[in-house]
Amino acid sequence: MKKCIKLLFEVKDAQNILNSFILNQAQACHVEGVGQRIKDGMVQLYVCAQEEQVDDFIDRLYLGTQDVQLYNIKIETSPSDRSYRGVFRIVEWFYEDNFFKHGKILDKRFRVSKSEVFFLS
């Protein structure tokens, strides 16, 4: 059964963690969704996949690595009617005068299939 969640957590060096650790964990667990830094040190993720894959993804985030530890992780259920078209994307926001002005989707994304992950160029 498809499960969708919203995660909010704190982490040092949020944008680099998104571009490396989070993207790698999403790829390993074959989840789709979107991740973005919403302010300094704060990251928000929307993730959808089969229930077991989402649970595995959450476990990996809680475990972290020797170099990456996430803090104050909050998890909420999210409507499962969102369509991420089988892709996990990282959205990068730009600051101007201490305000978010606009975002762009980075090239660091991948398409999720049943057994393979394809990087998009």
Per-residue pLDDT reduced to its tens digit, 92-111: 765 444 444 444 444 444 44
State the Cα angle at 38 between 76 and 73, rounded to 5°: 40
Helices (H), 1-121: 14-17, 23-29, 51-63
- Grade residue 88 by pLDDT with cuts at 50, 70 and 90: confident
- 10-14, 76-80, 110-114: least confidently modelled range: 110-114
Q: What is the pLDDT of residue 94?
A: 52
Q: Which residue has the higher pLDDT, 88 or 82?
A: 88
- DSSP-derived 3-state class of residue 48: strand
Using the predicted structure, report yes or no on whether residue 85 has a pLDDT greater than 50. yes
Q: What is the pLDDT of residue 93?
A: 61
Which CATH architecture is the domain 2-119 placed in? 2-Layer Sandwich (3.30)
Tokens representing residue 114 in the block? 């049943």
Q: Over the chain, what is the mean pLDDT?
A: 80
pTM of the model: 0.76
Q: What is the pLDDT of residue 54?
A: 96
